[in-house]
């Protein structure tokens, strides 16, 4: 799947009649593709950049109910998300992993400790568990010697889950394609096509890969707009009014050697009491997020959102408040990343008070599904496929039990530890054995102190539709975020593994390195540009 000739083959066969075209290859589009294929619909997904290029590779990596939404009285969103978290833990083991959270309560929060306790009991009960427990201030100080000692009232340990967001999208997409779906990256939908009655009946698509001079008009019975924060662009072509508020959320990444964490920490920022997290993830610690309106001018200047100087200060302030004993400085940060939330504008003055619920709109036959969260993608996909089936005039709707993830294969025969094999099975599902078989000597070793193996790079280059070095290093195997300076020190070995798999000349490699460094400096470096 997705080898070197994959794109040419697909472009040659694009102009056939489709039942459904899905615009957007983030988690929402991937989920819709998966369920539409399960319903027997001939479905094509088109993504303007790399798969998961948008928000779905820039989240906080949590599969969670969103405890903080309870404080905003968004009970239905929390309940739905908790239910989906429980489902994902079962349906996608080793990709979605349980994660413990510690929430210390400080006097300066002015939140009665018993209220936090009651909130967490409600949160637990929504998932039919009762696992959270309270820790005394003494216990908190013992477990966290670097913790702020002023006014600690108590701590609560509760449970959510984490994921590699980009790998989640890839796994769903690849299993959908294996089941008969079609997905094409670097294929931007420029406009929707309409029939004589004004109803949407197809799309004009442009190849955005390089040299990328192909374009086509493709017809389908139904067009689904799953373009995340950019969904308004297509809606406006059919007369829809702007409904989305793009809210930027930024993160800083620290090496675990400097910022070691066994479990995630939840805090309320000392400046504005916004809920934030510090999350151990894939060998690093992520601190985030912010929540701020993304100015249109910024989008004109840079294709990718990036952390601002103010956001860096805000995030560093949170770290110094919670864990002053670690004495962390901005110079300890190894990378950053920022994403845009597709939030339905509700007019709230404070961005964090806007609801995270999703919406489905139908305008001149264009079905738009947006808002929501990574965690709730299945609910969004179900609702969309029901709307598709109504539009095409029937078909069996997907049941709640319809497979979204294929079953994991048994543990492969391999000298690797079970933990490593499970890590691979979670990410690569039934392709795990093929990945192991492709590995050359030395490639089953881990990359530095990360959970990743060198073999993952070869596999991604060979079979996962990589078009650019940034696809490989920022979304398939995320060394650009996990290692200092975007993994600059490892590029020679990476090149030795992947260049021939990608079929790139030396000149192309140089161009790709240049492009990658430029992108990294702009949107992933610890140094903000503003």
Output the smallest distance, CB 516 to ligand FAD, in A.
18
Rg (CA), the chain: 23
Output the smallest distance, CB 28 to ligand FAD, in A.
3
Q: How far apart are CA 339 and CA 358, in angstroms?
A: 17
Sole window of 51-59, 265-273, 427-435, 492-500 interacting with ligand FAD (rule: CB under 6 A) = 51-59
> Which residue lies nearer to ligand FAD by CB, 55 or 148?
55
Angle at 50 between CA 45 and CA 51, to 5 degrees: 50
Neighbours of 379 (CB within 10 A): 18
Q: Which of 19, 21, 55, 264 binds ligand FAD (CB under 6 A)?
A: 55
Output the smallest distance, CB 246 to ligand FAD, in A.
9
Q: Does 227 bind ligand FAD (CB under 6 A)?
A: yes
- Phi and psi, residue 288, nearest 5°: -175, 175
Q: Which of 22, 88, 92, 226 binds ligand FAD (CB under 6 A)?
A: 226
The tally of CA atoms less than 13 A away on the side-chain side of residue 148 is 22
Sole window of 306-314, 336-344, 346-354, 456-464 interacting with ligand FAD (rule: CB under 6 A) = 336-344
Output the smallest distance, CB 434 to ligand FAD, in A.
26
Sole window of 23-31, 214-222, 263-271, 316-324 interacting with ligand FAD (rule: CB under 6 A) = 23-31
Q: Does 223 bind ligand FAD (CB under 6 A)?
A: no
Q: How far apart are CA 496 and CA 204, in angstroms?
A: 39
Q: Does 29 bind ligand FAD (CB under 6 A)?
A: yes
Q: How far apart are CA 202 and CA 192, in angstroms?
A: 6
Handedness of CA 481, 482, 488, 494 (dihedral sign): negative
Q: How far apart are CA 508 and CA 499, in angstroms?
A: 9
Sole window of 1-9, 372-380, 390-398, 473-481 interacting with ligand FAD (rule: CB under 6 A) = 372-380
Q: Does 35 bind ligand FAD (CB under 6 A)?
A: no
Q: Does 56 bind ligand FAD (CB under 6 A)?
A: yes
Q: Which of 67, 186, 230, 254 binds ligand FAD (CB under 6 A)?
A: 230
| Residue 524 DSSP SS3 | coil
Q: Does 307 bind ligand FAD (CB under 6 A)?
A: no
Residue 177 φ/ψ region, left for φ over 0, alpha for ψ in the -120 to 50 degree band, beta for the rest: alpha
> Which residue lies nearer to ligand FAD by CB, 66 or 104?
66
Q: Does 214 bind ligand FAD (CB under 6 A)?
A: no
List % helix, strand, coil for the chain (3-state, nearest 5): 40, 25, 35
Output the smallest distance, CB 369 to ligand FAD, in A.
8
Q: Does 18 bind ligand FAD (CB under 6 A)?
A: no
Output the smallest distance, CB 33 to ligand FAD, in A.
11
Query: What character string, x for contact with ligand FAD (CB under 6 A) and - otherwise, covers 376-415?
Result: ----------------------------------------
C-beta pairs of 71-78 under 8 Å, 24+ apart in sequence: 71/119, 71/275, 72/352, 72/353, 72/355, 74/355, 74/356, 74/357, 76/357, 77/355, 77/356, 77/357, 78/123, 78/126
Q: Give the tokens for residue 324.
A: 């002053």
Output the smallest distance, CB 187 to ligand FAD, in A.
7
Output the smallest distance, CB 511 to ligand FAD, in A.
22
The answer to whether the CB of 130 falls within 8 A of the CB of 124 is: yes
Instruction: Report DSSP state, residue 16.
Output: S
> Which residue lies nearer to ligand FAD by CB, 344 or 491?
344
Output the smallest distance, CB 487 to ligand FAD, in A.
22
Q: Does 351 bind ligand FAD (CB under 6 A)?
A: no
Which helix (H) or strand (E) segment holds residue 347: the answer is: none
Output the smallest distance, CB 81 to ligand FAD, in A.
7
CB burial of 498-519 (b: ≥16 within 10 Å; e: otherwise) equals bbebbebeeeebeebeeebbeb
> Which residue lies nearer to ligand FAD by CB, 62 or 473?
62
Output the smallest distance, CB 215 to ligand FAD, in A.
13
Q: Does 341 bind ligand FAD (CB under 6 A)?
A: yes
Q: How far apart are CA 74 and CA 376, in angstroms?
A: 14
Q: Does 519 bind ligand FAD (CB under 6 A)?
A: no
Q: Which parts of 108-147 interact with ligand FAD (CB under 6 A)?
A: none
Listed residue (261, 264, 265) closest to 98, CA to CA: 264
Output the smallest distance, CB 86 to ligand FAD, in A.
14
Query: Would you state the torsion angle of the CA atoms of residues 92, 169, 201, 397, taken in this order, to the nearest 10 degrees?
Result: 0
Q: Give the tokens for residue 230.
A: 């950019």
Q: How far apart are CA 339 and CA 242, in angstroms?
A: 20
Q: Which parts of 452-511 interact with ligand FAD (CB under 6 A)?
A: none
Sole window of 368-376, 385-393, 447-455, 457-465 interacting with ligand FAD (rule: CB under 6 A) = 368-376
Sole window of 24-32, 428-436, 438-446, 471-479 interacting with ligand FAD (rule: CB under 6 A) = 24-32
* Number of chain positions touching ligand FAD (CB under 6 A): 39
Peptide bond connecting 32 to the previous residue in cis, omega within 30 degrees of 0: no
Q: Does 280 bind ligand FAD (CB under 6 A)?
A: no
Q: Does 182 bind ligand FAD (CB under 6 A)?
A: no
- Kindly list the residues in this chain that would bind ligand FAD in the complex (CB under 6 A): 23-29, 46-49, 53-56, 58-62, 64, 188-189, 226-230, 249, 289, 339-342, 370, 372-375
């Amino acid at each position: 799947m997705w080898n070197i000739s994959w794109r040419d083959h697909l472009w040659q066969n694009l102009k056939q009649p489709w039942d459904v075209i899905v615009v957007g290859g983030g988690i929402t589009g991937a989920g819709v593709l998966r369920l539409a294929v399960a319903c027997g619909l001939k479905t094509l997904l088109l993504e303007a950049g790399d798969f998961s290029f948008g928000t779905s590779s820039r989240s906080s990596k949590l599969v969670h109910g969103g405890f903080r939404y309870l404080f905003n009285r968004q009970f239905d969103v929390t309940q739905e998300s908790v239910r989906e978290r429980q489902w994902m833990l079962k349906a996608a083991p080793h990709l979605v992993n349980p994660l413990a959270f510690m929430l210390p309560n400080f006097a300066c929060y002015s939140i009665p400790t018993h209220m936090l306790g009651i909130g967490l009991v409600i949160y637990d009960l929504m998932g039919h568990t009762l696992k959270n427990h309270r820790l005394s201030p003494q216990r908190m100080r013992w477990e966290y010697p670097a913790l702020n000692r002023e006014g600690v009232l108590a701590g609560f340990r509760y449970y959510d889950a984490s994921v590699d967001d980009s790998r989640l999208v890839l796994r769903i997409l690849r299993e959908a394609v294996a089941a008969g779906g079609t997905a094409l990256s670097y294929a931007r939908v420029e406009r929707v096509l309409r029939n004589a009655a004004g109803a949407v009946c197809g799309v004009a698509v442009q190849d955005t890969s390089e040299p990328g001079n192909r374009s086509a008009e493709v017809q389908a019975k139904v067009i689904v707009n799953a373009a995340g924060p950019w969904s308004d662009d297509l809606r406006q072509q059919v007369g829809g009014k702007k409904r989305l508020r793009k809210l930027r959320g930024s993160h800083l990444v620290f090496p675990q050697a400097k910022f070691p964490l066994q479990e995630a920490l939840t805090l309320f920022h000392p400046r504005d009491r916004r809920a934030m997290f510090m999350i151990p993830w894939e060998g690093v610690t992520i601190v985030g997020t912010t929540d701020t309106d993304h100015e249109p001018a910024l989008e004109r200047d840079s294709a990718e959102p990036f952390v601002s100087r103010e956001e860096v200060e805000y995030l560093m302030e949170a770290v110094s408040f919670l864990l002053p004993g670690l004495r962390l400085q901005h110079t300890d940060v190894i990378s950053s990343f920022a994403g845009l939330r597709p939030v339905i504008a509700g007019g709230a003055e404070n961005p964090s008070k806007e609801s995270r619920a999703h919406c489905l709109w139908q305008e001149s036959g264009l079905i738009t599904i947006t808002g929501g969260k990574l965690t709730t993608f299945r609910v969004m996909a179900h609702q969309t496929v029901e709307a598709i089936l109504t539009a095409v005039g029937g078909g069996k709707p997907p049941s709640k039990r319809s497979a979204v993830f294929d079953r994991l294969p048994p543990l492969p025969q391999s000298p690797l530890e079970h933990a490593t094999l499970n890590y691979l099975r979670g990410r690569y599902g039934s392709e795990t054995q093929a990945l192991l078989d492709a590995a050359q000597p030395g490639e089953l070793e881990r990359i530095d102190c990360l959970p990743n193996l060198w073999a993952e790079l070869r596999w991604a280059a060979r079979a996962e539709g990589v078009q650019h070095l940034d696809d490989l290093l920022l979304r398939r195997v995320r060394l650009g975020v996990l290692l200092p300076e975007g993994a600059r020190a490892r590029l020679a070995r990476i090149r030795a593994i992947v260049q021939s798999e990608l079929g790139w000349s030396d000149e192309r490699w140089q161009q790709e390195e240049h492009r990658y460094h430029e992108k990294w400096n702009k949107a992933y470096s610890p140094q903000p540009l503003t």
